Amino acid sequence: MKNARPQQVETSAQDTFNSTAGIFPKRPETVLAGVLAKLLEGHTLTSMDAVFKQYANRAETVIHCLEARYAWNIERRDIATATGDGRVVWVTAYWMTIHVREAAFKAGARAWIPETELTAKKRRKSANQGKSRAATRNPLRTDPRQLDLFDGLM
């Protein structure tokens, strides 16, 4: 063909990295802020890390929120890990590239991370008060019509 349009060439690898910083959460005492701070510090988090270190019950939800609402670029991949009973299970690991972290530090992460850690430390000091409040609220949630349901069984 004489007048064929040139084909657009696309490469499989990107020449540039997505190195824009997202938005920092305004409330530093939230789980979102805690997870973001750990990722910005260069940690790789799994679902179990989020549960036991950041007290988040679903890492996937927190990561999705950081990506969708706060525009952070978070990498992920599945990794194999051993369990205490000898099985091997697959979990998802989350991290940030060095390019995203550099952009975040240029945007003010160096001052934001210590503020987040300080509020988390203050919150942990009042953890026992929260546990006692939860313990007093749980019996109140029982439906009074069900209190005598299992009376004679035990």
Instruction: Give the tens place of pLDDT for each residue, 54-96.
Output: 677 788 899 999 999 999 999 999 999 888 899 998 989 999 9
139 token code pair = 């019996």
Domain over 19-121 is classified CATH 2.30.30:
no
Q: Which of 15, 70, 85 is closest to 40 using CA atoms?
A: 70
Averaged pLDDT score across all residues of the chain: 81
Closest CA to 74 of 46, 112, 116: 46
Per the CB < 8 A criterion, the answer to whether 93 and 79 are in contact is yes
| Structure tokens given for 2 | 């004489």
Question: With a threshold of 0.75, does the pTM exceed it?
Answer: no
102: confidence class by pLDDT, cuts 50, 70, 90: very high
Compute the distance between CA of residue 145 and CA of residue 21 in angstroms, rounded to an integer: 53
